[in-house]
Chains A and B, each alone.
Chain A
Amino acid sequence: MTGALRVLEHHLTVYRRTWKGSVFMSFVSPVLFLTAMGLGLGSLISRGPVRTVDGVSYVAFLAPGLLAATAMQSAYVETTYPIMARMQWLRTYDGMLATPIRVLDVLAGEFGWLAVRLALSSCAFFLVMVLFGTVHSGLGLLAIVVAVLTGLAFGAPIFATQRTDTSFALIGRLLITPLFLLGGVFFPIHQLPQLVQGIAWTTPLAHGVALARGLAVGAASPTAGIHLAVLLAYAAIGIVAAGITLQRRLVP
């Protein structure tokens, strides 16, 4: 596995040059969202007839879901154009494979790096959540792990579909954006028509959101095991499929 570590090291070297902007953005986005949606929209809800959503303030309801959804979006960004660039445009992988590095090392290094990136941005997000007072339980810290898993559950299958860059925009418009809006982040899924609920539960996001929310607000869900299993299954199968894609593309 030392090969994978060296791939990871390469990414760290590149990241050393861009980390400032990336860390800054990791804080800006949750602050904006939690202020506008959580506090702004939330204040309307708190004055309305129900006052709370699923038993907590709107901002506390929103924050963990947004944490998972942000990880999904980051994973989508990281596993589309940058991977295509390394695979095809810049041929970074070809350069690596001319050394003792193997395809398996590239795969492990890429997903290791994706996990590191997701963990970093999720930690930043979690800090903002703490500042907004939306973490009600010590177990909430585990929501970071859930966010990373949610990211991998999307990133791995997307990585596996790498063929042409024309599909990337399609994935964004037909999968990522609809899920972001309808996947249980901004309002409870059970308010949606049965059919849409069904669709939402087949994707990793709804599971990641439910799991993260349960941990953050301290309300353990009886279905936590199922949520976790779905996330792990998507990530694991996706990584295997991504490995097959890489093998086919890089060493025909």
Chain B
Amino acid sequence: MATPATDANALIHARGLTKRFANLTAVDAIDFDVGRGEAFGFLGPNGAGKTSTMRMIGCVSSPSAGTLRVLGMDPDQNGPRIRARLGVVPQSDTLDVELHVDENLLTYARYFGIRRDVAKRRAEQLLDFVQLRDRARDEVEFLSGGMKRRLTIARALVNEPELLLLDEPTTGLDPQARHLVWDRLYRLKQQGVTIVLTTHYMDEAEQLCDRLVVMDKAKIVAFGSPRSLIDQYSTREVLELRFPIDSTPALDKLDGLADRIEVLPDRVLLYTDDGEAGAVAVHSRGLQPESSLVRRSTLEDVFLRLTGRSLIE
């Protein structure tokens, strides 16, 4: 498991961080540190407290209790100073639909007090970076979802942030658009930008995050690198069996075939280090699954193990 960053060089330091709303505890005393240059993820289902945590880090929501330091400062005291050095990609785009693509970047740069000529130069570079150069003079309204997302990312980079916060950067995008976003984020990571993102996609967390925490019901239920979490909470492989409707065999028939068995509404998951051998064993017991699939363990399996529920309901 990756060693947690020490407090001294942590860009984000949280202890007992809590956010309460009227009758709901959205974030319940969580601890974490994010080090410089890291790509750090919050993985969890909707309502786990990821966005509330991100809003506190982004200094737009005050913690109800606990300690939070961002870039070494207290968000309650130094909100604007911290935000000047953050890039924020919110869950839903907040682009100016009344403005052109390039104007979106220019006006946003002005919020940071960036000089117009500098802003203009950066806008051009960023439009290149997110591959929207040829759409510079277009209305934002007519961009596809993936393009809007890329523009939002470009906008978040206009102040050359040290820390980039992305709340579900690819939710709702088609696979191609997602991969393009991932590729750009990967490049930023290579350039040394510290990235904090939330996601409910296991593959996103596995692709991008050096370290992540798994959140469920306002708490952190596990943390580590994607690989270490899989090693710790799952097996090397998973055998997925699908049986004809209403003929899922009694669990005892599968007894002993795997380290752990999960029965989902539509399929049965057998956690084992050798999926093929498991499949052979299933057949040798006279069971006839409609289909069987051997795959590598993912964070989805980790989440299932930790919470007993799948990540996306």
Contacts and interface: CB of A to CB of B under 8 A. Distances in A.
Given A94-B94, A251-B60, A10 B112 contact: no
A25 to B, nearest CB: 18
B60 A98 contact: yes
B303 to A, nearest CB: 28
A55 interface: no
Contacts of A252: 21, 61
Interface stretch (A99-107, A123-131, A148-156, A198-206): A99-107
A251 B59 CA distance: 9
Interface string B52-64: 0000001011100
Contacts of A99: 83-84, 108, 111-112, 159
B7 interface: no
Contacts of B81: 100
Interface string A1-38: 01100100110011001000000000000000000000
A97 B107 contact: no
B60 A9 contact: no
B58 A98 contact: yes
A94 B98 contact: no
Interface residues of B, number: 31
Given A6-B111, A95-B108, A100 B80 contact: yes
Most buried by B among A90, A91, A95, A251: A95
B202 to A, nearest CB: 27
A14 B99 contact: yes
B113 A95 contact: no
Contacts of A102: 79-80
Chain A at the B interface: mostly helix, strand, loop or mixed?
helix
B95 A95 contact: yes
A136 B68 CA distance: 64
B113 A90 contact: no
Nearest to B90: A94
A98 B80 CA distance: 9
Most buried by A among B79, B111, B112, B113: B111
Interface string B21-39: 1000000000000000000
A98 to B, nearest CB: 4
Nearest to A14: B98
A17 B62 contact: no
Interface in B151-175: 155-156, 159
A92 B107 contact: no
Interface residues of A, number: 23
A234 B22 CA distance: 31
Interface in B210-251: none
A97 B99 CA distance: 18
A98 B62 contact: no
A96 B84 CA distance: 11
A9 B106 CA distance: 11
Contacts of B92: 91
A26 B84 CA distance: 39
Given A98-B83, A98-B90, A100-B81, A17 B98 contact: yes
Nearest to A102: B80
A91 B80 CA distance: 19
B94 A95 contact: yes
A6 B113 contact: yes
Contacts of A100: 80-81, 83-84, 111-113
Contact of A91 (B79, B84, B90, B112): B90
B124 interface: no
Question: Which 4 residue pairs across A and B have the least CB separation, nearest first?
Answer: A95-B94, A99-B111, A98-B88, A100-B80
28 contacts: A6-B113, A9-B107, A9-B110, A13-B99, A14-B98, A90-B96, A91-B90, A91-B92, A94-B60, A95-B95, A95-B96, A95-B108, A97-B83, A98-B58, A98-B86, A98-B90, A98-B94, A98-B156, A99-B84, A99-B108, A100-B112, A100-B113, A101-B80, A101-B111, A102-B80, A250-B60, A251-B60, A251-B61
Interface of B: 21, 58, 60-62, 79-81, 83-84, 86, 88, 90, 92, 94-99, 103, 106-108, 110-113, 155-156, 159
